[in-house]
Amino acid sequence: MTDLLLTGIGSLTTNDGPPIAGAVVAIADGIVTYAGKEGDAPSQGAGRRIDCEERAVIPGFVDAHTHLVFAGDRSDEFARRLSGEAYASIAAAGGGILSTVAATRSVPDEELFELARARALRMLAAGTTTLEVKSGYGLDLDTERRLLEVGRRLGEELPVTVKTTLLGAHAVPPEFATDREGYIDLLTEEMIPALCELADYCDVFVEQGVFEVEEARRIFTVAGRYGLRPRVHACQLSPGGGAKLAAELGAASADHLDHATSEDAAALAGADVAAVLLPGASYTLGGRHAPARMLWDAGCTVALATDCNPGTSYLEGMGLVISLAVVEMGLTPEEALWASTRGGALSLGLDDRGLLVPGARADIVVLDAPHPTHIPYRPATNLVWRVVSGGKVAVPD
């Protein structure tokens, strides 16, 4: 018995072949049982039918890089950067990540959850059905635990899948400003062992002036002993060595990659490390975009994500991300859609989503548009008409 049947689909993107016109999708027990031409569909009853009225249907978006759990506001920094002040100088004066750390530490647990919950629901309304959620705005054991617990709770209470990442190595907190080694000791000897059960991954911001390659290798080595696979902030503000480290370690992903080279691309592709690109951060900071075309052509698994955070990419929907990837970064609309769905899923080790084929998890977006090219074509409009998450209608129900 089919629980849900989507009919009248004008264009069905399965990510497993060309788009299908005149399609239907059948769902039972949260799983796609059929996705294809209406005339070829097996005869079956349905508990609920939705006539898509010739709208486009795509897999749910998989946002594989977010900093969703935070408090505070950094709009003042945005204005200061527009006036010509550099991000590095703002951070050196106590702004940047550390200003969000101070605000986040001061907020009670329930308020922190409600702030994150509101963002996650807006993301769901914009078609995102799977999220990666990082910590990193606590930088002490207790607050990092709180952030990871909020991330897990989002996945338990909302119709979204959440993967959590421990990003204790986001910055050195002010209380360790003169004792970097002491903070790395805290990360490796206390934080990782205590929090590994709350996280799926470990991340390090590998960048000049943040964490050096050898420091990151030390942190990732310990994380690996506790079952946490690396995700690496790499080559965002400078070439550095983050991408090569990600390849060396067989990381799940190397993220940002604005300054990645062709050698980095070859190393990532050879090690099967996903390239998670974050054009929202490049856009907000006014910097260069990652070489998406080069990474794609080198054979990398390319993913697109919002990098939702209060300082450098306060984006909650994939529309602008996809548009930037198409207009500024050289991907085709079809490639950008794949990267924001299937690419993100593969970077998170989720082989059952980001595509619409029998056996896949039924995470589905119905667009109020005849074709998914309308996403980059109309980036300022939320084109989502319906969202199905795990086989159940989540938006607008």
Do 258 and 184 share a structural domain? Answer: yes
Residue 43's contacts (CB-CB under 8 Å, 6 or more residues apart) are none
For residue 203, CA distances in Å to 119, 162, 251 come to 22, 16, 10
Reading the block at residue 258, the tokens are: 């604005």
Backbone φ and ψ for 324, nearest 5 degrees, come out as: -60, -40
Do 21 and 154 share a structural domain? Answer: no
Average pLDDT in the 3-24 region?
A: 97
Residue 135 has pLDDT above 90, yes or no: yes
Percent of the chain scoring above 70 in pLDDT: 100
DSSP annotation of 344 reads H
Residue 397 has pLDDT above 80, yes or no: no
Q: What type of residue sits at position 315? A: L
The rounded mean pLDDT for the chain is 96
Average pLDDT in the 175-182 region?
A: 96
Residue 129 has pLDDT above 80, yes or no: yes
Do 226 and 363 share a structural domain? Answer: no
Reading the block at residue 219, the tokens are: 């942190």
Task: Give the integer Cα–Cα distance in Å for 148 and 51.
Answer: 39
Residue 93 has pLDDT above 80, yes or no: no
Alpha-carbon 211 to chain mean position: 22
Do 362 and 343 share a structural domain? Answer: no
Do 154 and 72 share a structural domain? Answer: yes
Least reliable range by pLDDT among 71-80, 114-123, 224-233: 71-80
Residue 83's contacts (CB-CB under 8 Å, 6 or more residues apart) are none
Confidence tier at 221 by pLDDT (50, 70, 90): very high
Residue 5's contacts (CB-CB under 8 Å, 6 or more residues apart) are 24, 25, 26, 27, 44, 46, 48, 49, 50
Do 195 and 143 share a structural domain? Answer: yes
Least reliable range by pLDDT among 66-70, 79-83, 180-184: 79-83
Do 83 and 41 share a structural domain? Answer: no
Do 280 and 173 share a structural domain? Answer: yes
Interstrand relation of 23-28 and 61-63 (parallel, antiparallel or unpaired) = unpaired
For residue 224, CA distances in Å to 162, 172, 187, 221, 228 come to 21, 21, 13, 5, 5
Do 13 and 137 share a structural domain? Answer: no
Whether the Cβ atoms of residue 184 and residue 176 lie closer than 8 Å to each other: no
Q: Please list, residue by residue across 274-303, b when 16 or more beta carbons sit within 10 angstroms of its beta carbon and e when fewer do.
A: bbbbbbbbbbbbeeebbbbebbbebebbbb
pLDDT digits (tens, 9 = 90+) for 222-233: 999 999 999 999
Do 387 and 264 share a structural domain? Answer: no
Do 170 and 300 share a structural domain? Answer: yes
Whether the Cβ atoms of residue 324 and residue 283 lie closer than 8 Å to each other: yes
pLDDT for the residue numbered 42: 80
Return the CATH number at 247.
3.20.20.140
Do 71 and 45 share a structural domain? Answer: no
pLDDT digits (tens, 9 = 90+) for 278-328: 999 999 999 999 999 999 999 999 999 999 999 999 999 999 999 999 999
pLDDT for the residue numbered 38: 92
pLDDT for the residue numbered 223: 98
Backbone φ and ψ for 371, nearest 5 degrees, come out as: -155, 145
Confidence tier at 47 by pLDDT (50, 70, 90): confident
**Whole-prediction pTM value?**
0.97
pLDDT for the residue numbered 88: 76
Average pLDDT in the 358-383 region?
A: 98
For residue 52, CA distances in Å to 12, 48, 338, 390 come to 11, 13, 22, 18
Confidence tier at 143 by pLDDT (50, 70, 90): very high
Average pLDDT in the 140-148 region?
A: 98
pLDDT for the residue numbered 124: 98
Return the CATH number at 28.
2.30.40.10
Average pLDDT in the 335-363 region?
A: 98
Residue 21: domain span: 2-59+354-395
pLDDT for the residue numbered 357: 98
The total number of structural domains in the chain stands at 2
Residue 200 has pLDDT above 80, yes or no: yes
Whether the Cβ atoms of residue 23 and residue 39 lie closer than 8 Å to each other: no
